[in-house]
A = this chain, B = another copy of it.
């Protein structure tokens, strides 16, 4: 019999030293967060720091303290910046201190949320139930936490694919369908819709990108006519994706009208609520997402406007049985037992693509309990008010131009001095944005609307104050003047 003479472990030789390091990490982390406003919104990483990340695999131990010191020296000074009060790029949350504590505790307990009988599954089940309450789906709906909006949308669209016809897509695949399926979304829908259809083997050709109106909402008449044309052509219209907050401008489709269209044509109604589903919490604006409660499936992000640290999204599917029938696969080593470790009513791996799953539910659970959802609703209203404030600042400044209506918390605008037109104008704004980033003053991002390059500020930020908005417009005007010369 082979004998293990010396038993090694990854547990610390000196637990008290490791505990002291954890306390140091808490203090360093809190000091860093509390002073975030004193630092630039963004700054580049020096080349000599980047060079450190090309060292080969470490064979020998460096020790915990030394590894941690590398984090402090090399990583902490050069963040993405989305913790900063004037970071408004793409669409990201800021995180919270208790959210970070939640991730620490989740990793200490370190459960696998794929299945089994343990209390953490009940934590996730409760959080998912709360998400159903947020959007108004029945409590007997299916759902699970996922990595974010892309996966949440994928889950909804997968169930839509598998239930569109009587064919057994799980066995026969897409080639076993009686005719090609068609999915519908506006041209403003997020790119993850196309990525999902590509992954699902339907191909981007199965996605009809429907035109939008002046408010960037899906054109309902155009939608109905393309559905009719597809059906006449022998295709199988399967699913309409409604946007609750588009990524470009924050537009919200008429979800109630889409629900009626889906009912009339017997289509799956999926809502991409990665940005805007949580507007259902906001007393002053929840009417904007009315109709979301009629969806067959909803994708939510919790690491965006609810500020849970990355990653946390939620996929909800009204027909729990259909969700389980799409994803459940229980080979012999995953059979449930009647009692013991392998029993339990909730095996989340049967409701989505992952088997091993982390305890992301804990940070959500702690965060919702800490603040209460009424506060999240007020913060959403606050951010939408800030977006309107920023739009008003833009309108009040002659060299700034508002590029799209403000509905939620996204503001698209550009520096537009008299006498400059595209393509020069787009090039000017591109360079302006880079200079703004390099200044560290603020970090909006960019998009292109009707072929015109825009600055784009997304304001889910819980640290933004009104004074930050004027700092942005002042900086844009100043840098714009520097770049465009004496002309203005």
**Smallest CB–CB gap between A426 and chain B, Å?**
11
Asked if A433 and B150 make an inter-chain contact with CB atoms under 8 angstroms apart, the answer reads no
Asked if B80 and A95 make an inter-chain contact with CB atoms under 8 angstroms apart, the answer reads no
Asked if B203 and A337 make an inter-chain contact with CB atoms under 8 angstroms apart, the answer reads no
Is A63 engaged at the interface, CB distance under 8 Å to the other chain?
yes
Asked if A370 and B64 make an inter-chain contact with CB atoms under 8 angstroms apart, the answer reads yes
Among B10, B94, B202, contact of A379 (Cβ-Cβ < 8 Å):
B10
Interface residues of A in 47-101 (CB under 8 A from B): 49-50, 53-64, 66-68, 70-71, 74-83, 89-90, 92-101
Q: A27-B19, A74-B119, A388-B1 are in contact. Are A204 and B99 (CB under 8 A)?
A: no
Taken together as a complex, chains A and B put the C-alpha atoms of A148 and B114 apart, in Å, by 11
Among B4, B75, B199, B447, contact of A386 (Cβ-Cβ < 8 Å):
B4
Q: A83-B110, A147-B354 are in contact. Are A105 and B25 (CB under 8 A)?
A: yes
Q: A3-B389, A176-B203, A445-B342 are in contact. Are A110 and B170 (CB under 8 A)?
A: no
Among B62, B202, B340, contact of A173 (Cβ-Cβ < 8 Å):
B202
Asked if B331 and A191 make an inter-chain contact with CB atoms under 8 angstroms apart, the answer reads yes
Is A311 engaged at the interface, CB distance under 8 Å to the other chain?
yes
Asked if B149 and A378 make an inter-chain contact with CB atoms under 8 angstroms apart, the answer reads no
Asked if A382 and B8 make an inter-chain contact with CB atoms under 8 angstroms apart, the answer reads yes
Interface residues of A in 183-204 (CB under 8 A from B): 191-192, 194-195, 197-204
Chain A's interface size range is: 35 or more
Note all chain B residues with C-beta closer than 8 A to A175. 174-175, 177, 180, 203
Among B22, B93, B151, B201, contact of A353 (Cβ-Cβ < 8 Å):
B151
Note all chain B residues with C-beta closer than 8 A to A42. 118, 340-341
Taken together as a complex, chains A and B put the C-alpha atoms of A82 and B445 apart, in Å, by 43
Q: Give A387's nearest chain B residue, CB to CB.
A: B2
**Smallest CB–CB gap between A454 and chain B, Å?**
10
**Interface-located stretch among A262-270, A286-294, A316-324, A360-368:** A360-368
Among B89, B338, B356, contact of A310 (Cβ-Cβ < 8 Å):
B356
Asked if B95 and A108 make an inter-chain contact with CB atoms under 8 angstroms apart, the answer reads yes
Taken together as a complex, chains A and B put the C-alpha atoms of A372 and B7 apart, in Å, by 17
Note all chain B residues with C-beta closer than 8 A to A82. 110-112
Q: A356-B310, A370-B63 are in contact. Are A11 and B201 (CB under 8 A)?
A: no
